[in-house]
Structure 1
Amino acid sequence: MYPSDSYSALIVDDELPIRALLVRAMQGVGFRCVEAANGDEAWDTLQTTRFDIVVTDLKMPKSHGHSLCVRLRELNARPITVVLTGIRNERLQRDLEARGVNAVYYKPVNFWKFAEQMRVLVESRAKQQRTDGSHASERGESNPQEAAMPFPKSHAKHVTGLLLRERDRAERLSKAIADNTTDCFIATSSEELCQLLDSQRIDLLIVENELGGFLSGLEIVERLNQQLIRPKVILITEHSSEVSKRACEIGIEQVLDRGVTQDDLVRQTRTVLANQSEQDAYIPALARCLVKDFGEIPPLPQLVVKLAGYLTMPINEIPIDELANDISADSRAATDLLNFTNMGLSVFNQTTSVRQAVNLNGPKKTIMLVLSAATMRVQSQVLEDWNESHRQWYQKRSVIIAAAAATFAERFEHNSPDTAFILGLVQDIGCLVLSKKYGKTYDLIVKRFQEVGRLQLHQLELESFNIHHGHVSAALMLKWKLPQSLIRPIVAHHDAEGEEEISKADRSYLRVIQLGEALANAMEVPHSFRSHMLAQKAGFYDDLTLDERDKIFHEATQYAKALCEVFNFPVPDPKELTAILSNTMATEEEEFEQIS
């Protein structure tokens, strides 16, 4: 734990949710925080109060962050200055550093990790001042090279949170659990726990049911579920018999008697964490809040959620009879499966039996077909409000990404094409939520992306909303209770830091959905930048010849064309795709400056 209130911070951002989350995280590592909504407010505060660090956004009304950074140089006791922005521009970053900014970070960030890094910056300056006896901060001097340390690398440690009635017991347990594989943090209340979990990942929560406050441990877990935060849970209770049933209903892993010994509790903790072979995806709080109460995207049918869970199982363990019976009991799912199975077959070869369709397709492809149809149906309901051009753009784009991802997974990665298809289909579904939420503002973003070849959709979203469609897609999948194995590649597919945290298997799926998206982007606007991005993603498979890659790309586009015809979506032009791919492969070895 950090010493409380040992340093002071001024947080400057015009968006209240961002400001609030950042303040909570900074307070969690021992900062006294003051807030300001723009540069003018921040400057007025700085006239009367001294701060160790100022964290500021750039794009704000009245007085922007760049102006504030320039004015900070006038102060005799200049604080460490850090810019946290969604605007990515190398020239702007160089200009900020030249004006004395100590570090520049880009949204979205893990607020908890960011706050820890700010603590390191401030402590580093304080240590330097103590060591050399100087008063550099009073003269307005600093060492940008020392202050702008790289963001700490994500680690593979498990994270366990403790919320117990007795603080002493929590501290003893924390020391017993923490080792080189597990980190622990202690919360003193349900409110503090929720604040912490808005800014950091958690793998396991150990909570007592009888906390002596307004909420029981069970109620806290239920509220976390409503906030789309679903860690594994060990519940400690005095009334295990009557509580166990309710705990089972809400998915709690273990229910232990309050008299459990510390050694037994540590063993149970190790067992639960060992069974969690991969980390859960960290989804930004803004994305979770956006979809939590958003009722305009309908839920997936319970059958589809159940079938999606089978995707994570070895194929020989999927219960074929149960799978066929479940689909047969749902007339819409049965119709969708039979329509897909009979696609392209003569009337004499078509099947009317769900069980036969499952046998013909295999269990995983069967699940993919049912899940795809349900997702398409959800998309169609939401797309009714979009104008025709945007609706056609989204429909064609989503099928191209899914078809390409499936083909690349099978031929490049030797992974399940069915899982890759689902990932490709849902990775952009967050666009629909953002469109519903922000209306014309989001329509303009899509229009700019369609017209300007150098722009990237997720960067435009970050600049406007501080989250991108991948975050929202992942949050929606979490709300639908789809498996974490599907969610992890989605939340990471535009976040370089997230890519480092996921498993090798997830990373292979991540590559194919990124490649599929690059293909869709290159189709939309024939531009050298998009061709370069597609060639860059395809370059991962440089052990294949250009002819081999060209053949696989051709297979992907033919698959996309067939799917568009089935779904009655706008069909991509094969000649257009061939021209894009030929241009991409021909220029693959050139430098980006030459291509531009």
Structure 2
Amino acid sequence: MTSHCRVAILTESESRSRAIEEFLFQPTEGQVCMTSDELYHVVNAGQIDAIVVTNALGGFLTGVDIINRFADELVNPICVLVGDLTPSQKRRAEELRVGTILPADSTPVAIAAAVANAISKEIHSGLSIPHGARVLVRDQDYIAPMPQLLVRISGFLNDPNATVGMLAREISTDQRITAELLKQVNSSSFGMNHRVKSVQDAVGLIGVRRTVGLVLAAHLLGARNSKLKPLPRGLDGRLRMRSLLTAVTATTYSKLRGHQSAELAYVVGLLQDVGILILLHELGNDYQHTFDRCSSIAQLQLAPYERSQLGFTHADVSAALLQKWELPPRLIRLVQQHHEPFDKIEVNPGEIELIQAMQIGESVADCREHFSPQRQILLNRLVAKCGGMNEDAMHGCLSQAVAQTMEMSKLFSLPMPDGHGFQKIVQQIARDADVELSANELAAKHPLGKRPAMAETTSAVEGAAATTSSTDENASNPPSTDPETKTMTFLGCATTPQKLLPATKPSAAPRPTISETVYTPQCVEPNPRFTDELGENGYVVVVDDEVAIHELIQAYLKPLGLHVECCIDRLELALHARDADVIFIDMHLGDRSGIDDIRWLKSKNINVPVVVTSGDLSRSAVMAAVTAGAADFLPKPFDRQSIQAKVRKFTQAATPSTLVGAT
């Protein structure tokens, strides 16, 4: 164990409890309780990871009764139960999923060791759900419990011995679920050439796991239909469409790759973001503002922001809800980890494939909500990490996912999506599947947050814009193809490359003002190392904690002859700052503020113009940048034209002078 854990202890005597506390392994901290009420209060009020309780406490309640009380309140700490149990108590302990039961005469050392093993096993299983997420789910009353029939049949997803007859018998006990299943199987999406009239035939035709997925999906989407009505108009349909598109895309991708868990991908895809529903209900407009902002700004990611503000994420809340519904631990673990980087997930290879499919499905849903080059880069990088996909395969996968999403929306009475808009996104994504292949293969070798060396980075766009970056020494003999007007395709968008600077030295003139600048820049001495033309001498430094932003800026600027150096930490910034013509710094870095980096540059007398990039356009954010000494401000998301305008402003050859304020 490497993390700090707290254990509450209640036994028949204080001396025994103190002895157990003394032998707890570091860094575990014990807290001795004298009564069951004190134990209950401590577990509910504090960050308690595990409890030790003896069954025979000498009073009215037994240890099993106390654990049962916690379960009723959806407080599920790791439990170590000490005592000799009756047969009925053993059955109840098993139903309560008490993981460790020790004999009544167990020594304090043995009990402490059992606590350590139980905590280690729980952490390794990925089911260590933050206390705040569990409490949030425990206290809500607007999502009904999962019907026991669905809890039982969900176990069939992981049961290789489950048969068609076994599942058919379970489903046949519920007329509503039976009718819903037959409705789905007889829909046009299954393409049956005859009408299916019995559950036995339906399960036999589509298989056990797929049947379970369909039944669970019908319940989940139906429940969300009713529970999302109090939400603001339009948000309910958005969330349901997002879940459905994620689930269908994950399933389609899994089948295309030959994964064994395609049906499970469908269920997990529907479940993974149900925590957003609870957070919207509990936190109201504050959370909705955060959710909308992260949905519309490509550079912002919801889960890291949630973790920084709440201490847990919507994935943790989703997992807590599934735990309340008593769904299989495997489902809970997959849902909780669906935002984690692949190299940090402690699951088997089959589950890695499933999480990859889920992340691809979610990335497609992100593109559908707000398409941008940054989001397509992230999607392409995910696909590359998962084995790559050419244009035909990508187009086929997405087209099939869109068609099934449209069909399922109709089947479940969800708002129908814009089919034309869907297909446009499919074409944009698929068209660049081959173009981005080399960049994605590179990205697959470098996990998020680890920047490849500049010499290794080769953007497909560089080749497309080679005529722009390789100008003649003599400007009077331009290439036959005018780079000012040649159109190329970048990330599915037609763009016209422009030379930022003329090849010949311009006459001294004031720098042009930039109309889109949101405030008057500070007067900053420009870098004295100005050159007559960009070529290899134009030097731009980018400080951002998102590799996708690095790749995007490189794609925008490197074809024009600029050298772009990307930095993640301050050490890298220190190595390159003095050589830069202009530095772009993100305001909100992962472990620090970009404003602090600007102040640090000033303290080192590095007077290179700094442009702050941020999706936060509030007056306080802009004023913070001004006060720190930033020369300009670039709102996120930015496009090719806006970032090139900023670079032109600070790298164009001109006589040294203070910067001209924007009007």
Aligned to 1:309: 155
Aligned to 1:336: 180
Question: What is the distance in 2 between the residues matched to 1:401 and 1:477?
Answer: 18
Q: Which moved more, 1:428-437 or 1:188-197?
A: 188-197
Q: How many residues align?
A: 436
Aligned to 2:543: none
The alignment status of 1:295 with 2:129, answered yes or no, reads no
Map 1:104-119 → 2, pairs under 5 A: 113=3
Task: Tell me which amino acid in the other structure corresponds to 1:594.
Answer: Q
Instruction: Say if 1:535 and 1:192 are closer, same or farther in 2 by CA, change over 3 A.
Output: farther
The alignment status of 1:593 with 2:553, answered yes or no, reads yes
Matched residue SS, 2:254: helix
The alignment status of 1:417 with 2:377, answered yes or no, reads no
Aligned to 1:398: 243
Question: What is the distance in 1 between the residues matched to 2:352 and 2:307?
Answer: 23
Matched residue SS, 1:258: coil
Map 1:168-317 → 2, pairs under 5 A: 187-189=31-33, 199=47, 207-211=53-57, 216-226=62-72, 228-230=74-76, 233=79, 235-237=81-83, 240=86, 243-244=89-90, 246-252=92-98, 257-259=103-105, 279-314=125-160, 317=161
Cα distance, 1:419 vs structure 2 = 0.6
From 427, 432, 449, the equivalent of 2:272 is 427
Normalised TM-score (structure 2): 0.57
Task: Tell me which amino acid in the other structure corresponds to 1:580.
Answer: Q
Unaligned runs of 5+ in 1: 1-109, 117-158
Aligned to 1:577: 425
Contact 1:235-1:255 at 8 Å conserved across structures:
yes
Question: What is the distance in 1 between the residues matched to 2:29 and 2:398?
Answer: 48
Normalised TM-score (structure 1): 0.63
Contact 1:194-1:224 at 8 Å conserved across structures:
no
Contact 1:240-1:255 at 8 Å conserved across structures:
no
Cα distance, 1:211 vs structure 2 = 3.8
Contact 2:363-2:375 at 8 Å conserved across structures:
yes
Cα distance, 1:352 vs structure 2 = 1.3
Task: Tell me which amino acid in the other structure corresponds to 1:423.
Answer: V
Question: What is the distance in 1 between the residues matched to 2:95 and 2:224?
Answer: 30
Cα distance, 1:313 vs structure 2 = 1.3
Q: Percent identity?
A: 25
Question: What is the distance in 1 between the residues matched to 2:234 and 2:228?
Answer: 11
The alignment status of 1:325 with 2:169, answered yes or no, reads yes
**Deviation string, structure 1 residues 377-419 (Cα, Å, up to 9, x no partner):** 1110112123332122112211110001112223336131111
Aligned to 2:398: 553
Aligned to 1:39: none
Matched residue SS, 1:311: helix
Cα distance, 1:515 vs structure 2 = 1.1
Q: Which moved more, 1:342-351 or 1:355-364?
A: 342-351
Aligned to 1:529: 374
**Deviation string, structure 1 residues 476-503 (Cα, Å, up to 9, x no partner):** 1111111110011211223459943344
The alignment status of 1:458 with 2:299, answered yes or no, reads no
The alignment status of 1:407 with 2:252, answered yes or no, reads yes
Q: Which moved more, 1:217-226 or 1:349-358?
A: 217-226
From 440, 444, 452, the equivalent of 2:289 is 444
The alignment status of 1:567 with 2:527, answered yes or no, reads no
Cα distance, 1:440 vs structure 2 = 2.6
Aligned to 2:577: none
Task: Tell me which amino acid in the other structure corresponds to 1:509.
Answer: L
Cα distance, 1:582 vs structure 2 = 3.2
Aligned to 1:488: 333
Matched residue SS, 1:388: coil
Instruction: Say if 1:559 and 1:244 are closer, same or farther in 2 by CA, change over 3 A.
Output: same
Cα distance, 1:272 vs structure 2 = 8.9
Instruction: Say if 1:281 and 1:239 are closer, same or farther in 2 by CA, change over 3 A.
Output: closer
Cα distance, 1:297 vs structure 2 = 1.3
Q: Which has the higher helix share?
A: 1
Question: What is the distance in 2 between the residues matched to 1:273 and 1:201?
Answer: 8
The alignment status of 1:504 with 2:362, answered yes or no, reads no
Cα distance, 1:257 vs structure 2 = 4.7
Unaligned runs of 5+ in 2: 440-458, 460-550, 556-638, 640-663
RMSD of aligned Cα (Å): 4.0
Instruction: Say if 1:594 and 1:522 are closer, same or farther in 2 by CA, change over 3 A.
Output: farther
Task: Tell me which amino acid in the other structure corresponds to 1:578.
Answer: V
Question: What is the distance in 1 between the residues matched to 2:183 and 2:253?
Answer: 25
Instruction: Say if 1:517 and 1:485 are closer, same or farther in 2 by CA, change over 3 A.
Output: same
